[in-house]
Amino acid sequence: MTRRAAAHSTRQPGSDVIPDQAAADSAGQPGADTASGHAAAERFWHALEARGSSPHTIRSYRTGLEGYLEWLAGHRHDWREPSRTVLRSYLAALIEGHDKRTVAQRLAALRSFYRFTTRQELTPGNPLAALATPRQPRRLPAVLTVAQTERLIVAAEEGTAQRSEVGMLDRAELGSRGGPVDRSGWSARRAALAQALALRDVAIIETAYAAGLRISELASLTVGSVDLKRGEVRVTGKGRKERVSLLGRPAMAALDRYLDEGRPVLAARAGIAAPGGSPSGGSTSRGRGSAERLSHDATVLLLNHLGSPLSVRGIRFRLERLRVAAGLPEGVSPHTLRHSFATHLLDGGADLRVVQELLGHESLATTQIYTHVSPARLRAAYTASHPRATLSSAGGEAAGHSGLPTSGVSSPSGAPEQ
């Protein structure tokens, strides 16, 4: 039996009790100490799940924490009380192979882990409390202009990026291996699908831009979460926190038309198999019961070409196709629409705290980044505040504002004498 297996064998099945480290250390078994670190990490990950942390956050923390514990084990250091010298050595190794953003994420994971172990009395304190995080370069978020956003919507309306999904219908109904299966009504179904997909794509762009949604929030919307009468959409954001976002008239109209004309067409295709004989699209491989899956799929707002829920990956794919069709620069993502939403609100004079609430930010500091992206807001603040921002010349009007005398005495003609 290996030393790690021996350490795990000291735990009762289903128990969260950490193995006795005093015995392990006295026996000179660093592997057992590593095992206790992984056991503490498991408890930490379960706590993150119970707290409602996103799968992405848990996955990122798991990667960072596992790498840290393995590094400590390889250098025969105790994970419970690493010295500052040990932590600096680990930080140097981390900086050597990763960019500053990744380093900051790994350190954030370790700080959160040690806060947890300290509360659980697994460690005497947080050894990273006094360790400085490398300063990250400040990058302003990229945003679209209003004209570029409109080009994106026009591309969706024209259905110029639907060839891939409609092509799947061709292969499914006409047969990808043999001759045509059934051409009766095929052209009409093809046109109806293309129209439904175009309505869906317009609803995606309009809703993401109007409500400032994250892509995960957009993908998880249900039919019941949208209130077109009130122009509201109820969103479950990070940490399973709910908020209400608002919809403008174009977004309401796009959603109304999609729900009336587009979604029924897509939902009716839920039983159609993709090429190869297996159902395609989002939720068939998630391991849920058939009845539960069908019940869930029936309420999801955005559907793919086979009537299954449109996934986060599917939304990214659609937006990339629309970006190319609209002739927009590379780098436009679903989050770009969220950045544009916030920036355009500030350009229009919205209060920063209102934007914070609509975005679902916990801290106002997170929202303040958009004040540096909004040139109209900066110009308005400068014009309203600086005493010389609105002067038409540096003559007498300037003197009146500055309180200083003019450089010469005015002559009867009005020109200053030299």
Active site positions, annotated: 214, 238, 335, 338, 361, 370
Distance separating alpha carbons of residues 359 and 11, to the nearest angstrom: 44
Distance separating alpha carbons of residues 362 and 60, to the nearest angstrom: 20
Given the structure tokens 């039983």, which residue do they identify?
271
Q: Strand 226-227 relative to strand 242-246: parallel, antiparallel, unpaired?
A: unpaired
Structure tokens at 39: 């056991």
Residue among 146, 127, 140, 170 at smallest CA distance from 272: 170
Instruction: Encode 210-236: b = buried (16+ Cβ within 10 Å), e = exposed.
Output: bbbbbbbbbbbbeeebbeeeebbbebb
